[in-house]
Structure 1
Amino acid sequence: MTEHPAQLRTEISDSWDRCATTGVSIDLPAAPVTLDDGALRQRRGTHPLRGVRPLVEDVLGQAVRDCGAVLALGDADGHLLWVSGASVALRRAERIGFVAGGNWNERVAGTNAPGTALRLDTPVLVRGREHYVDAVRAWSCAATPIHDPVTASVLGVLDVTGGRQVAVPQTLAMVRAAARMAEAELARLAPARGPGDRAAEFGMDIGGRAAPGRDGHAPDGSTLNGLALNRLGPDGLDTDALRLDALGRTEALLSRATGRSVRLGQRHSEILVVLATHPGGLTGTELADLVYPHPVSPATVRAEVNRLRALLGPEVLESRPYRLRAPLGGDWCTVRSLLTVGDVDGAVRAYRGRLLPRSTSPAVEALADDLEWSLRTAVLDSGRVELMAAWTRTAAGGDDLEMWTAQLHRLPAGSPRRPLAAGQVARLDRELGATTPIRRR
């Protein structure tokens, strides 16, 4: 078995073990190109992601080219269908088989962001020497799966691959945000469904309802909770009966339509957030991997879920798989829905802080990063000083050099806010330096 380099992260170490078990050669010169031109054209022409590729290019394309990297969209089997980016980077990527038609499934190409993200169904950042195959270790990559917003099945993967500048958490957050936008666009493009079908996770108008207003309600009064519109769920349960407020709270507040509310412990808060974002349900192992920062026994998961079921009732939370029998509304879903329809003002007002800020759950932390980055990007792109000022008053924005700088550049010469902005820019320049993360334009 190939020897692990020192201090590999658990998800990377586990991937190396899988690669060794399946016989991937560490000396593989390049990933194989398994789709010829004809097969590639056919797969591109029928793949659902073809409809969102222009959006992905618009969101990430220029930023990727500016940093000398490569952008890829692949299918659920790990085949790269579209690859674009800086010309020099594209020529280098050809040498390792990172081209349209190349197969980057983990079982074929070893540990890599697109392949491992598909294997784990979670966002993955792979830095340099964390790659299993020697030929790929000059690269770093960040990837996340893209899901069907109706069935929650994996459609494919979005990846950014480049040099050291890619190997930062901000890149993965940016990729996740672009993937969520792609899923929202897939929901918008989906054909209308009957009232018995599940609405899209992102609150889009799949069932023919109107888009939400600034308060998160559609014009007809139905609540847009980010998972489904107001309707009867399985067995006649009212889908608006439960709401979870978790932004800026270390322990979420669960409210019922009757007006009763209860404050949940941190672990129960994390479990509910994770289940709300996986409407198809999760096995005990999957739930443990998403909620706990370290390995736990199945008995631990069962005990926590049983306690939570006793609080909610068996008609709300079921097992085999663990899932909510009715969609759960959440304040973080409202922010995401408002961003989806372009209401940045409403999203800023609704954002009360980071999602479960003390959470140690990998899934919750990723969701919190995604939401925070999406909102920050929308505020920057708006060019509006009042929204930038609101962002710098949040816990995440107080030390945001790029936001303070953008605000300073847009404030008129006589504005009373200029001295504050100039002072914050000077302070952060001293403390942090002038380097800012990659961001889309």
Structure 2
Amino acid sequence: MSTADHEAHRTRDRVLSRPAGGASSRSATAAPRREIAASWRRVAATGLDPGAGAAIVPLVEADLERRREESGLRELIPKLTTSLASVIDAGQLVVVADPQGRVLWRLGGTGVRRLADHLGFVDGSAWTEANVGTNAIGTALVLGQAVQVRGAEHFVESHTRWGCAAAPLTDPWTGRVVGVLDVSGPSAGLHPAELALVELTSRLTSMELLERRRAELDRLRASAAPLLSRVDGDALAVDRYGRLAAFVGSRAPERVALPDEMAPGAVWLPAVGPATAEPLGDGWLLRLGAATDEVASTLVLDLVGDPSVRVRGTSGEWSRQLSTRHTEILLSLVEAGAQGRTAAQLAVDLFDSPDPMVTVRAEMSRLRRVLGSVLLSSPYRLAPAVATVLRLPDDPRDLLPRSSAPVVQRRRRTR
């Protein structure tokens, strides 16, 4: 073990042995990196023991296969294998996980796969911070950016002989994280440049997803043109993600937030009000009703089971499931009330650090595209005219179990 590795282990032992946790990085010397220190604080607050390995129960085969199909990532695996062939040849493991941190695919030789098996790093296992502590997959999902975790920077002792670098896989069309790309293996074999390689590969994958979405939109535009030419009044042709393909009339928002349970017939949409929806290829034809200045009157944040948001107006309601990050943000804003939260305050609520303000602002921009006038800025807050309802599980331990965000941990302790 090198001198640097010895020092890293001493730092880990010193910081994580502090009572009641103090995964603090405020020591003047031998402090862990700031993003690692913040992760340690988040994980320590969950009660995970750094000296004991977490129980990792993998998905059964049928559930794993269902997640693989739903991920939409299967077609990308051959290209990822080619792009990272040198990493696999060097004895590292390439892993693709879903947005919940579940391992969907592992690509690598028999030796490194066997080592991963001993850690419970198997197909279908969950590698979130809340589940297994600081690790590249879970911490990249929390931060929304590429992360490298070296040896002793892992929170759980049994993982400290391992190194990993991971980056979120983002669909630029929707702004949603659709998975995580990870390179892992014995820490002695992990090169610092692998972080840059993983980040570059994830960006190329995102660009490939973008080209697919553009091609789909072009096909929808071509099929919508003759139909729209016969429509009276305002109408939109949108793809399955709500992106505008074509329109007639005076109203043409670039994107419409569609509900999860989209179906033919009458629908109410926050951005455009009442409409009639008709299937159109892989998208929808929306015949818009009369333009109104109607705004939402009620927002229901439902955290029982899979988190979702439901927005009600006088003409109807609309709902969709939320990502973990957007759920954490809305929970923070509901708790803040009229005072709201600055970007720095939201960063502390989400990451236990004011540093990731750029990430917060990007997520708020995406969330405001969905909820529109329900969310206000400077500071970020829910519109005062909108009544808010928060639905929580009966058992506080069931609240967002994959989340390690401080705002969620506070809520678990106060009920």
Normalised by the length of structure 2, the TM-score is 0.48
Q: Report which of the two has the higher share of strand.
A: 2
